[in-house]
């Protein structure tokens, strides 16, 4: 058994245990493998171990990988910060975007999504850690943004995503994730039909699953520690 194979099995075991503790069916949580900084060969190996959903954070790096792995049936998710000059590449090459935090970017993705593809599945990224984090829209601004995005053609708003500040305090982890869960409930009572909570990473996936995560984004626990972030030069 390879390292990636063993790591994937260990992550599945953690997800299974967390679902058991949360009294949730294990098939309510999808594992998104975060392959940023790892070469295409590592993704290929993970696919051979049964993993089908992968996430990337840097546009140029991801396009190279998507081309090299075009022979495989991979569902690609974009989870990184997105600038306007890179929206077209994302609209054309990804199935999901988790990191929408501005209407302008959503409008560009909507306009650029090719008509022959299904709608781009999107989540609004919310800052649940206020001053301790910079990414994501403010909690108070999320409802207006979510309702606006839900109206755009070419996109299908599925839910919310958050990256709380790293902490080993599992109580704090759960309180941050609970904010996202409560916001999802609020938006659904306001008429949106959202089914996705993208939250939980290598160090806090258990807390996320206890608070209702439906997608956990796991990199390090599958592929190992990332050394350096590649230069995204295009
Ligand atoms: C890198 C990254 C992850 C994975 O983090 P790990 O700690 O390596 O599991 C998850 N989500 C986002 C948005 C990331 O950028």
Q: Report, as an integer, the average pLDDT of 27-54.
A: 98
User: Ligand 1 pocket check: which of 98, 126, 219 to mutate, most ligand atoms within 8 Å of Cβ?
Assistant: 219
Long-range pairs for 131-138 at CB < 8 Å and ≥24 separation?
132/165, 133/163, 133/164, 133/165, 135/81, 135/99, 135/101, 135/163, 136/101, 136/161, 136/162, 136/163, 137/101, 137/102
- Band (pLDDT 50/70/90 cuts) for residue 111 is very high
What pLDDT was estimated at residue 178?
98
Q: Report, as an integer, the average pLDDT of 161-169.
A: 95
Does position 230 have pLDDT exceeding 90, yes or no?
Answer: no
Ligand 1 center to residue 201 CA distance, Å? 6
Better pLDDT: 126 or 2: 126
Ligand 1: residues with CB < 6 A are 34, 36, 57, 79, 163, 201-203, 217-221
CB 31 within 8 A of CB 12: yes
Distance CA 94, CA 86 (A): 12
Which two structure tokens, joined as six digits, stand for 184?
A: 């999802």
User: Ligand 1 pocket check: which of 31, 57, 203, 215 to mutate, most ligand atoms within 8 Å of Cβ?
Assistant: 57
Taking alpha carbons only, the member of 161, 176, 179 closest to residue 207 is 176
This prediction's pTM: 0.96
Does position 184 have pLDDT exceeding 60, yes or no?
Answer: yes
Query: 54 exposed, middle or buried (CB, 10 Å; 0-12, 13-18, 19+)?
Result: buried
What pLDDT was estimated at residue 233?
42
Alpha-carbon distances of 167 from 13, 132, 145, 199, rounded to whole Å: 22, 11, 28, 14
SS3 72: coil
Q: Report, as an integer, the average pLDDT of 75-89.
A: 97
Which two structure tokens, joined as six digits, stand for 200?
A: 């939980």
What pLDDT was estimated at residue 133?
73
Cβ within 8 Å of residue 27, ≥6 positions away: none
What's CA 124's distance to the chain center, in Å? 10
Ligand 1 center to residue 33 CA distance, Å? 9
Angle ∠(104,144,174) on CA atoms, nearest 5: 105
Ligand 1 center to residue 217 CA distance, Å? 6
- Minimal-distance CA residue to ligand 1 atom 7: 202
What pLDDT was estimated at residue 50?
98
């Amino acid at each position: 058994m390879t390292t990636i194979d063993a790591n994937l099995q260990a992550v599945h075991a953690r997800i299974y245990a967390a679902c058991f503790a949360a009294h949730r069916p294990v098939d309510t949580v999808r594992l998104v493998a975060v392959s940023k900084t790892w070469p295409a060969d590592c993704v290929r190996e993970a696919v051979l171990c049964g993993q089908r959903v992968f996430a990337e954070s840097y546009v140029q790096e991801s396009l190279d990988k998507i081309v090299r792995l075009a022979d495989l049936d991979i569902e690609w998710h974009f989870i990184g910060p997105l600038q306007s000059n890179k929206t077209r590449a994302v609209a054309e090459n990804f199935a999901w975007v988790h990191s929408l935090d501005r209407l302008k970017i959503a409008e560009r993705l909507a306009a650029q999504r090719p008509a022959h593809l299904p709608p781009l599945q999107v989540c609004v990224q919310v800052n649940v850690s206020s001053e301790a984090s910079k990414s994501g829209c403010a909690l108070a601004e999320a409802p207006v943004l979510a309702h606006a995005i839900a109206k755009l053609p070419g996109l299908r708003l599925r839910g919310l995503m958050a990256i709380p500040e790293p902490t080993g305090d599992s109580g704090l982890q759960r309180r941050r994730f609970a904010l996202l869960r409560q916001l999802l409930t609020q938006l659904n009572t306001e008429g949106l039909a959202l089914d996705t909570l993208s939250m939980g990473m290598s160090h806090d996936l258990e807390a996320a699953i206890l608070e209702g995560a439906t997608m956990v984004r796991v990199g390090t626990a599958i592929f190992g520690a990332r050394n350096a972030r590649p230069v995204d030069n295009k």
